[in-house]
């Protein structure tokens, strides 16, 4: 762990780097890695030095809290808290997502139906504003408006330097039950039962997600955290987690392996790189079977265009990336999946139910209402003359019509009035007048749609 002295030194370096940027020049982070899937304009000039803000400052096992730096990855955060028997209340699926990124860009996982989203466990935040000030924001202090609007602001209001979060006490094992359903109606009933009672069929449920392989083959995975010892599965080696779901009614994992069950194969996206081929997998070092490595491979492909060369060889007319996470109300899940199958046709689809306890204006989900996140990641073949983003635009329209929202970590194509109505940019503008009067940070629309 970094400790408070090291943290203060890192904050000093951050503020020094801010002062070194010419007045009036744009402010950005000087970081080399990202979990975003949207193009960004090439950075010019110096950025903020966040190199020392990537760790855990302190874990308090008595209070069940942790003080964490904004650039700390969940992998490092779990490594610091799990020895005490604690984990963050929500641990997003991928190891290198940062705590600050999950709060300012939203995060989700299988505990989100019962625990909400990562930002709902935040007790206070130190935020570097566009004006260069360090504001400590809590739900009820003079920066309460900034605290409430920060989730889903994607750096348009500033950057998280330190976050104090609540932790959850957990045992060492997780018992899984994969329940096959014949479609979205049956799956929705299970989700409702768990939301109402934190139980299913008499068993306690601590976490829940689902995998839709076909329209009439949806598996709801119910997780129960347990102290009971016993044999456990290992999906970081030759076995592949998502392939086990239809094959096993019950399963057991260590808590650590449960948290990262999706990371090893980037859900199912590792198949695009041959990593699910048994012969390739044996030769692929285990330490390189992880989401950040696959993300880098995507970046290399984007840079050098190998997949485009292969498509020309295979006479594929065109291809569009469809990498999205969306939320719709639970009662509209079936409508969305039916539309998605007819219009897009990608499978599997990850389904993760969620419910928030409070109002968060920049991502206005109705408190207490059950939503489902649908995640789908890959490419679809399109006509050669298909306009850029045509499939993604249709998805945005469908989600909007169903009363939902979509996450902004990937490409967005909304027109300005629609975007403003969905993400409370008027409220963001009011806060920017106070915390970034010179406009040194990009607006949310500029970041999410214009990719600046």
Q: Please write the tens of the pLDDT for every residue from 212-268.
A: 999 999 999 999 999 999 999 999 999 999 999 999 999 999 999 999 999 999 999
pLDDT score of 46: 75
Range(s) within the chain of domains with CATH label 3.30.465.10: 3-170+429-448
Specify the higher pLDDT residue, 65 or 33.
65
The stretch 410-436 carries a mean pLDDT of: 94
pLDDT score of 39: 61
Average pLDDT score, the chain: 93
Report pTM.
0.94
Return the CATH number of the domain spanning residue range 3-170+429-448. Answer: 3.30.465.10
The contacts of residue 248 (CB under 8 Å, 6+ apart) are 176, 178
What is the percentage of the chain residues whose pLDDT exceeds 90?
Answer: 87
- DSSP designation for 93: S
Is CATH 3.30.70.2520 the right assignment for the domain spanning 305-413?
yes
pLDDT score of 32: 63
Query: How far is Cα 134 from Cα 127, in angstroms, rounded to an integer?
Result: 6
pLDDT at 41 exceeding the cut of 80: no
Range(s) within the chain of domains with CATH label 3.30.70.2520: 305-413
The contacts of residue 350 (CB under 8 Å, 6+ apart) are 209, 210, 211, 212, 267, 373, 374, 375, 376
pLDDT score of 392: 96
pLDDT at 360 exceeding the cut of 80: yes
Query: How far is Cα 340 from Cα 401, in angstroms, rounded to an integer?
Result: 13
pLDDT at 398 exceeding the cut of 90: yes
| Partners of 245 in the β-ladder | none
pLDDT score of 376: 95
pLDDT score of 358: 86
pLDDT score of 302: 83
Query: How far is Cα 351 from Cα 349, in angstroms, rounded to an integer?
Result: 6
Q: What's the pLDDT tens digit per position in 139-181?
A: 999 999 999 999 999 999 999 999 999 999 999 999 999 999 9
pLDDT band for position 28 (50/70/90)?
Answer: confident
pLDDT band for position 308 (50/70/90)?
Answer: confident
pLDDT score of 299: 86
pLDDT score of 339: 96
pLDDT score of 259: 98
Query: How far is Cα 151 from Cα 105, in angstroms, rounded to an integer?
Result: 6
pLDDT score of 33: 62
pLDDT score of 238: 94
pLDDT score of 73: 97
Q: What's the pLDDT tens digit per position in 120-144?
A: 999 999 999 999 999 999 999 999 9
pLDDT at 354 exceeding the cut of 80: yes
């Amino acid at each position: 762990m970094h400790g408070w002295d090291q943290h203060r030194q890192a904050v000093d370096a951050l503020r020094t780097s801010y002062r070194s940027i010419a007045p009036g020049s744009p402010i950005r982070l000087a970081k080399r890695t990202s979990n975003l899937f949207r193009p960004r304009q090439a950075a010019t000039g110096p950025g903020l030095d966040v190199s020392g803000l990537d760790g855990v400052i302190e874990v308090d096992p008595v209070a069940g809290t942790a003080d964490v730096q904004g650039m700390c990855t969940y992998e490092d955060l779990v490594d610091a808290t799990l020895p005490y028997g604690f984990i963050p209340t929500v641990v997003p699926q991928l190891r290198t997502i940062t705590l600050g990124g999950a709060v300012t860009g939203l995060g989700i996982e299988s505990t989100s139906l019962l625990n909400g989203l990562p930002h709902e466990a935040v007790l206070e935040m130190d935020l570097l504003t566009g004006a260069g000030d360090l504001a400590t924001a809590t739900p009820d202090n003079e920066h309460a408006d900034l605290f409430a609007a920060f989730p889903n602001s994607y750096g348009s209001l500033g950057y998280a330097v330190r976050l104090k979060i609540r932790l959850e006490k957990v045992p060492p094992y997780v018992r899984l039950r994969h329940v096959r359903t014949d479609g979205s109606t049956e799956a929705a009933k299970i989700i409702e039962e768990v939301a109402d009672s934190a139980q299913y069929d008499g068993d306690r449920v601590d976490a829940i997600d689902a995998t839709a392989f076909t329209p009439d083959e949806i598996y709801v995975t119910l997780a129960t955290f347990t102290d009971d010892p016993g044999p456990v599965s290992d999906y970081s080696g030759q076995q592949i987690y998502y392939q086990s779901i239809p094959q096993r009614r019950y399963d057991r994992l260590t808590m650590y392996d449960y948290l990262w069950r999706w990371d090893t194969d980037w859900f199912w996206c590792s198949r695009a790189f041959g990593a699910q081929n048994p012969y390739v997998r044996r030769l692929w070092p285990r330490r390189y079977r992880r989401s950040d490595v696959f993300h880098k491979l995507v970046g290399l492909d984007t840079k050098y265009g190998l997949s485009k060369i292969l498509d020309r060889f295979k006479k594929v007319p065109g291809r569009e990336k469809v990498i999205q996470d969306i939320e719709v109300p639970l009662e509209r899940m079936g409508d969305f999946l039916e539309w998605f199958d007819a219009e897009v046709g990608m499978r599997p689809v990850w389904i993760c139910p969620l419910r928030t306890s409070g109002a968060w204006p920049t991502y206005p989900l109705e408190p207490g209402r059950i939503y489902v996140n649908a995640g789908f990641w890959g490419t679809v073949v399109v006509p050669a003359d298909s306009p850029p983003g045509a499939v993604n635009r249709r998805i945005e329209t469908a989600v909007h019509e169903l009363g939902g929202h979509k996450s902004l970590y990937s490409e967005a194509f909304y027109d300005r009035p629609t975007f403003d109505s969905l993400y409370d940019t008027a409220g963001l503008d009011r806060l920017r007048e106070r915390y970034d009067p010179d406009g040194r940070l990009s607006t949310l629309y500029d970041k999410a749609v214009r990719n600046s």
